[in-house]
Amino acid sequence: MSFAWWQKGVIYQIYPRSFQDTNGDGVGDLEGVRRRLDYLVWLGVDAIWLSPFYPSPMHDFGYDVADYCNVDPLFGSLAAFDALLSEAHQRGLKVILDFVPNHTSNAHPWFLASKRSQNDPKRDWYIWRDAAQDGGPPNNWVSHFGGSGWTWDEATRQYYYHAFLPEQPDLNWRNPQVRAAMHEVLRFWLRRGVDGFRVDVISHLIKDAAFRDNPVNPGWTGNGPDIIRFKQTFSSDQPEVHEVIAGLRQVVEEFEDRLLIGEIYLPLDRLVAYYGDNLKGAHLPFNFQLLDADWNAAGIARLIGNYEAALPKGAWPNWVLSNHDRPRVAARVGAEQSRVATMLLLTLRGTPTLFYGDEIGIGHVEVPPERFQDPWAKREPGLGVGRDPSRTPMQWDASVFAGFSTREPWLPLTADHETRNVSTMSGDETSILALARKLLCFRREHAAVNCGAWRLLSSDDDVLAYERRSENERVCVALNFSNTTKRWRSAMCESATIVLSTLGDRVNEPVGSDVLLRANEGVLIQ
């Protein structure tokens, strides 16, 4: 059986603002990504996913797009992107772009036309509705960033809908002209040679045609962000969305060997529907279950088993451990267990996505209120919803600004950046960076891990153990989720060898039926 590059490979997410600054403004840029390509090859990833770099007023740091077919001067130019793409391909790296089709910036020419009058040809490109009888919003839909999802336009005497900021009006994907225009956006980048897209909030693209009120969330306790007051029953995940996604897939398939990923925060039974009928939806509906998982062996085992069982026949799994919207894995499970988490991510069946900085163990970064950048944190203060700690600069060396910039970066560095950086950790064979690199190398070289079958061996006594198997090879993974020594007994591993430990100091160590796992240790057994 042959496998596509995106099935065998590992995706590395880059938040361009925070990867490498080359012009001294404290913000990363595309030229910075280009200059760090050799590092990514050294690390051993196969593809890079770039968060948005399009022209934008930056109300939501690029997720408010004003021009889908260009580069914001903050990040460089189309020529800089083309150079990055060309050099990535020369090094064997694929390039995936963030595609943001649910909404535009309110500065986008389409929206400026749409709000000129109710009779403008582009009026129906966005979601406009009359006021309710009391003059208020058309329904109870709320913004993901707090407050009503509807904003009144005095000039044309209607409300427009925005699932996020008022500066991010939602497009009307029921309009075939919108679909055609956005398909051309995809083709623009595909013709340039990009290898795929990660589609932002893909489940939001179609809303309820009758604009019914969302039901109250019975679990609402009066605490937490505004968005959880209601179930998003009618403002997201509508049946017609799958036709839209199939249309996106058709465009991608006009070009050879390209990839479509969907960002979907939904329960498992709804998530797997986004593979589409006959697997003609997203190639990879992002699987975010590890982001909210209870961190214990039994719970993780159930999660993996349920996911594997729910996958449609022939669907390819995928795993995400961190991203730019959620707390980093080291912030969630601690520095010791983040090594175990790294081994888990890179040895499960399916395509892993590794978030920049996780390979050096960046955890929670304290961002003082006066340095908050995230609009969600500013709109709903005191709720801990700020995403800034997950977007702090990559740390390259022990210099004053960690090699990221020649001036104070747009967000703070970790307190330990003088030691938690690529330069320092690359020389330490026991560092988490060395672990990530060794795991990526092992994964690339062993079919049992990059495309083999998965089978649970045990999940007792704080130890999760599973087998990865191909026709000619078997690898066992044993992970200790506790901070005490554990002994895992399995006849599967008789006459086998530990080839890699998360602690970096057990190489080619013979094992019998008993495998001793130290506190917070994971091992690969071959």
Which of these is catalytic: 240, 254, 445, 505? 254
- CATH number of the domain enclosing 46: 3.20.20.80
- Does 346 lie in the same domain as 310? yes
Q: Does residue 187 sit in the same domain as residue 142?
A: no
* CATH number of the domain that residue 131 is part of: 3.90.400.10
Q: Over 90: is that where the pLDDT of 507 sits?
A: no
Q: What is the pLDDT of residues 295-320, one digit of tens each?
A: 999 999 999 999 999 999 999 999 99
Q: How many residues does the chain have?
A: 526
Tally of CB atoms within 10 A around 256: 6
Q: Are both 143 and 199 inside the same structural domain?
A: no
Annotated active-site residue in 31, 72, 195, 200: 200
Is 247 in the same domain as 379?
A: yes
pLDDT score at 490: 80
Mean pLDDT of 510-526: 92
Residue 498 burial by Cβ neighbours in a 10 Å radius (0-12, 13-18, 19+): buried
> Which of the listed residues 410, 437, 464 is the one where a domain comes to its end?
437
**Residue 201 C-alpha from the chain's centroid:** 11
254 is catalytic: yes
Over residues 311-367, the pLDDT tens digits come to 999 999 999 999 999 999 999 999 999 999 999 999 999 999 999 999 999 999 999
Domain with 119, as residue range(s), is 109-161
pLDDT at position 144 over 90: yes
Check residue 422 and give its pLDDT: 98
Say if 384 falls within a structural domain.
yes
Say if CB 403 and CB 423 are below 8 A apart: yes
pLDDT tens sequence across 38-55:
999 999 999 999 999 999
Q: What would the mean pLDDT of 210-224 be, rounded to a whole number?
A: 94
pLDDT at residue number 69:
98
- pLDDT in the model for residue 425: 98
Hey, which bits of 200-332 come out as E strands? 259-262, 284-285, 318-320
Q: How far is CA 142 from CA 131, 209, 213, 230, 275, in A?
A: 15, 17, 10, 8, 28
Is 516 inside any structural domain? yes
Q: Is the pLDDT of residue 388 over 90?
A: yes
Q: What is the pLDDT of residues 431-454, one digit of tens each?
A: 999 999 999 999 999 999 999 999
- Per the annotation, the verdict on 467 as an active-site residue is no
Same domain, 369 and 496: no
What is the layout of strands, in order, in the sheet containing 94-99?
284-285, 259-262, 196-199, 94-99, 47-50, 11-14, 351-355, 318-320
SS3 185: helix
Read off the amino acid at residue 133: Q
Number of domains in the chain: 3
- Mean pLDDT, all residues of the chain: 97
Structure tokens at 334: 């601690």
Asked, for residue 393, whether it belongs to a domain, the answer is yes
Q: Are residues 139 and 232 in the same domain?
A: no
- Residues paired with residue 458 on neighbouring β-strands, in sequence order: 465
Number of H helices, E strands in the chain: 15, 19
